[in-house]
Amino acid sequence: MKIETENLTRKTAFALFYNIFSTVLGYVALFYVMRSVGQTGWGIVGSAMGLVGLLAILSDLGSSSTHVKKVGEGGDIEKKNGTYITLKLIFTNLFVVVTLLTIYLANHLGFKFESEYLRNAVILMIFYYYLFSLSKIFKTILRAYMKTSHALLPDFVRVIVQDIFLIVFSMYWIINPSAPPEKIGVLFVYGYIIAAFAQLLTFIFIVRDLKVKKPSIELIKSYLIFSIPLIFLGVVGTIQANTDKAMLQFFWNTREVGAYFGIQKLIVPLTTLSTALNFVIFPAQSHNYNRNRKRFMEITYTAERYASLLILPLISFIFVLAPEVLNLWRKSLIPYTTVLRILLIYSFFYVLNTPYSSQLVSAGHPKENLKAGAVQAILNVVLNAIFIPTSLLSIPLLGMKSVGAALATLLSLLVGFFLLRFRAYKILGTKFNRKILLHVFASFLSGSFLYFLNRYVYHFVRFYELALAAVIFSLIYIGLLLLTKELTLNELEKIVKKLLNLY
């Protein structure tokens, strides 16, 4: 089956719509959270997620990416579904057992939680990850069938339920301000669990007619062998997602985690676009690698171009007006402007890395991702250990708190980014997409204009003023792309229609 560029654009547009929807609702929920319980209550969620998330790799161990690759190769799909489900259930239960055992041993060795609230939140977060891992079984199966909308629909349900509960519990604290913010943080985790359960039920309904066969020992071995290098890729993602929060909690406190996690929440829509892109392009790349090499390369370039085209203006806009954007949620977040700007740069390179990382795996070279990822993971841990604490083992360190965590995340990613690009070029001949430079040029000029406008002509502060600034920025950005012919009116019209058709 030939996958046309238009179809790829439509699927990418659907993924973008999901990101826009989750962004708006997530920002509203974060507004209520920060305006009510503030950084401390939100820090309970971030700390629990960071501590438990470090072991979450055990719930997958590369089996999900392996299944997508195996299905793309054809064969007995029903037996492959059975193999994947069997392995995923084993790994998910392994995660729960190991995590509980780790907590028990840590407590026995004298490591204590900052508060009972944090301890309760960590225990509850294990159950959240358990439900989330079960949902990933069905999400991966749908992804392997290239049913993007079906795979993302339950995410809509989870986001809606989750953010509704965040808002409700935030309003509860407003009504009852005598309740400790940490207690509300534990309630937030309950909201996460309920949302994950709703997501799982939605997936079960969607795949209710799924056909599964008993797996064979040979197929299980095949899955495990292919998954070995992907396990370490998962470790990289886990380290990048959780080490910073875990170290901030260990060396500082829940409040610092709350501020950092809150800012991470602001850029989540950008980084999750990477996941959505991978949903669309990895099955397509796997399908075309042996069938149509030209199409295989075209998918990579198209995905990268649209990703850059769509997220770079948002990144540039927030970068320029970072203090004003943070002030919308809470004034106490303004000192974390540098953190936001660093993480915005990180999110750009993170998303652009997705098509090439996916390309190497789909072409049967997951070890290349492993090599780059191993360097990235080690560097991330080392830099976090240097940047975050004031001292370690009596050795004076930088004590940069959240700024250090953000900087470690960015620098380690950049090293992995350039290593992966170099290997993709050497092995597959994938060249640098020069069109990205036009996007950077247009964003830089648009951002510069907005910076001087905000600084010397009119200071954008209120929400509607920032909305007006966004319109001005967008018009300049699109105008520059049209002038440079990187974007045509016909293509712009198609993109807008694709987005409108999603409503």
pLDDT tens-place string over residues 202-224:
999 998 888 888 888 989 998 88
Question: What pLDDT shows up at residue 282?
Answer: 55
pLDDT (0 to 100) of residue 501: 54
Gap between the Cα atoms of 375 and 318, Å rounded: 30
Taking each helix axis as running N to C, give the angle between helix 337-362 and helix 366-387, from 0 to 180 degrees, rounded to the nearest 10: 160
The 10 Å CB-count burial string (b at 16+, else e) for 346-376 is: bbbebbbbbbbbbbbbbbebbbbbbbbbbbb
Question: For 429-481, how does the pLDDT look when each residue is reduced to its tens digit (9 = 90+)?
Answer: 888 888 899 999 999 999 999 999 999 999 999 989 999 999 999 999 999 99
- Please report the pLDDT score of residue 283 as a whole number: 59
Average pLDDT over residues 34-56: 91
pLDDT at 311 > cutoff 80:
yes
Q: What is the mean pLDDT of the chain?
A: 86
> pTM for this one?
0.80
Q: pLDDT over 90 for what percent of the chain?
A: 47
Angle 333-338-343 from CA coordinates, rounded to 5°: 100
- Tell me, what's the pLDDT at 451? 96
Range with the poorest average pLDDT among 104-108, 151-155, 204-208, 466-470: 151-155
Structural domain count of the chain = 1
Question: Could you tell me the two tokens for 460?
Answer: 């954008």
The token pair at 257 is 């985690």
Q: What is the pLDDT of residue 226?
A: 84
Tell me the three state secondary structure of residue 392. Answer: strand
The confidence score (pLDDT) of residue 241 equals 77
Contact between 385 and 334 under an 8 Å Cβ cutoff? The reply is: no
Given this model, what pLDDT does residue 340 score?
97
Beta-strand ranges (E) seen in 310-397 are 391-392, 395-396
Output 361 or 10, whichever has higher pLDDT. 361
Q: Which has the closest alpha carbon to 361: 66, 118, 59?
A: 66
Whether pLDDT at 201 is above 90? yes
Does residue 80 carry a pLDDT above 80? yes
* Residues 324-357 pLDDT 10s: 999 988 888 999 999 999 999 999 999 888 888 8
Cα-to-chain-centroid distance, residue 465: 29
Per-residue pLDDT at 3: 43
Q: What span, in angstroms and rounded, lies between the C-alpha atoms of 70 and 84?
A: 10
The pLDDT of 122-143, averaged and rounded, is: 94
**Residue 461 burial (10 A CB sphere; 0-12, 13-18, 19+):** middle
Cα–Cα distances (Å) from 190 to 119, 128, 159, 312, 471, in that order, read: 14, 8, 14, 35, 38
Range of the structural domain that residue 425 is part of: 5-500
Give the pLDDT of residue 503.
43
What CA–CA distances, in Å, run from 312 to 53, 208, 306, 349, 486? Answer: 29, 39, 10, 10, 14
Residue 137 in this model has a pLDDT that exceeds 50: yes
The reported pLDDT for the residue numbered 288 is: 61
Tens-place pLDDT, residues 219-270: 999 888 888 877 776 777 777 778 899 999 989 989 999 999 999 888 877 7
Average pLDDT over residues 180-199: 96
Range of lowest pLDDT (157-166, 276-285, 306-315):
276-285
CA–CA separation, 225 vs 69, rounded Å?
13
365 — pLDDT class (breaks 50, 70, 90): confident
Sequence length of the chain is 503
Q: Among the listed ranges 1-10, 296-305, 325-334, which one has the minimum average pLDDT value?
A: 1-10
CA-CA distance, 405 to 50, in Å (whole number)? 13
Q: Is the pLDDT of residue 198 over 70?
A: yes
Taking residues 151-166, what's their average pLDDT? Answer: 91
Instruction: Look at 169 and 367; give whichever has higher pLDDT.
Output: 169
Calculate mean pLDDT across residues 288-316: 78
